[in-house]
Amino acid sequence: MPQSATYLKKPHVVIAFAVALVLLGGLVFTLSNQSPHAPEVSFTLIDGSNVSLADLQGKPVLVSFWSTTCKICIAKTPEMNAIYNKLHPLGFEMVAVAMPYDPPTRVVEFAKKLAMPYPVALDHQASIVRAFGNVRVTPTNFLISPDGRIAWRRHGELDTDHLRGTIEQMLQKQRAKL
């Protein structure tokens, strides 16, 4: 019998090898499932000011891509406004990013008409769209955790109750750390 086969018959060697494989597999699984960091972007808001994601780090942030021609976006705005109004005082932030094809005057008009209480950004050069993986569909939403990682991405209509609950959990975790 070859020496290597004899070596594998020793129970402690087999157990140690199995434990090492499990630990290695767990490490690979953990590293492969870590959320990517949100891109480092700066938003130009409709009032001419700028805010960057780095400025908002430490808080849960929803980056919501929308357009003035998106029926779902318009219909969900009152619910998004309510979430923001309720959770912003607790540390939640949101930036609504208008798609590059939306004329700025129309974006401003809709933001006022829909009483959007959160920052609304213009993306003339599509740099934010590109930074978030070439967003093409509205609505597309990215929830960013306080540590700057993308917690999830959603295309299409949002379940606002689920969104609210997820943000509340993030806020509770933040308060627990303080």
**For 69-83, what is each residue's pLDDT tens digit?**
999 999 999 999 999
The dihedral built from the CA positions of residue 3, 8, 11 and 12, taken in this order, carries a sign that is positive
Cα within 13 Å of Cα(166), Cβ side: 18
Radius of gyration of the chain (CA): 23
- Residue 24's Cβ-side half-sphere holds a number of Cα atoms within 13 Å equal to 6
- pLDDT category at 30 given cuts 50, 70, 90 is very low
State what percent of residues in the chain have pLDDT above 90.
78
Average pLDDT score, the chain: 87
pLDDT of residue 177: 81
Residue 174: which pLDDT band, with cuts at 50, 70 and 90? confident
For residue range 118-162, what is the model confidence (pLDDT) as tens digits? 999 999 999 999 999 999 999 999 999 999 999 999 999 999 999
Q: Are 171 and 91 in contact (CB under 8 A)?
A: yes
Helix (H, G, I), strand (E, B) or coil at 21: helix
CB 139 within 8 A of CB 70: yes
> 93-98 and 50-52: which strand pairing?
unpaired
The pLDDT value given to residue 111: 98
HSE toward the beta carbon, residue 91, CA cutoff 13 A = 17
In the block, residue with structure tokens 């157990």: 15
Q: Which residues contact 155 (CB under 8 A, 6 or more apart)?
A: 137, 139, 140
Distance CA(76)–CA(154), nearest Å, equals 14
Question: Topology of 42-177 in CATH?
Answer: Glutaredoxin (3.40.30)
In this predicted structure, what is the pLDDT of residue 90?
A: 97
Would you state the structure tokens that stand for residue 30, as one six-digit string? 């953990």
Query: Considering all CA atoms of the chain, what is the largest pairwise distance in Å, rounded to the nearest integer?
Result: 83
d(CA 145, CA 125): 26
